[in-house]
Each structure stands twice: as C-alpha cells, then as structure tokens.
Amino acid sequence: MHLIRFIKSVNHEMKLVVWPTARENRRDTTIVISLTLFFVLFFALFDWLIQSFMKLFV
C-alpha cells in the first residue's frame, strides 16, 4: 500500500516540474564549460607559478 501511494505521489510531483528549454540548457552548459576551462587555466597557472617560485629556493 505504501509503495502505491509513493508512486502516485512521485507521478504527481513529476507533473509539477518545469523542465528547462533547449535554449536554457545550452546557456547553462556553456556557462559550466566556460567556468571549468577558466578554473583549469587559473589553477594550472597558479601551480606553475608556485613551482617556479619553489625552484628558486631549492
């Protein structure tokens, strides 16, 4: 009995979900990829600077 009530509840909630449009998906995906590339480059540069700084003292 609890399983049937749970499935009905899930079905009801899924009907209330507002799914993003294709344009919103493209925008959000572009933002995520851009930020990922930015942070990859930022941390790579930061790591390279720390390594260069450490080589001066070792």
Query: In the chain, what are the domain boundaries?
Result: 1-57
Torsion of CA 8, 14, 16, 21, to 10 degrees: -170
Q: What is the pLDDT along the chain (58 residues), one digit of tens a residue?
A: 799 999 999 999 999 999 999 999 999 999 999 999 999 999 999 999 999 999 998 8
User: Residue 58: its pLDDT value, please?
Assistant: 82
User: CA 11, 20, 17 angle in degrees (round to 5)?
Assistant: 20
- pLDDT score of 1: 73
pLDDT of residue 57: 87
Taking the C-alpha atoms of 35, 36, 38 and 44 in order, what is their torsion angle to the nearest 10 degrees? Answer: 160
Contact 22, 30 (CB under 8 A): no
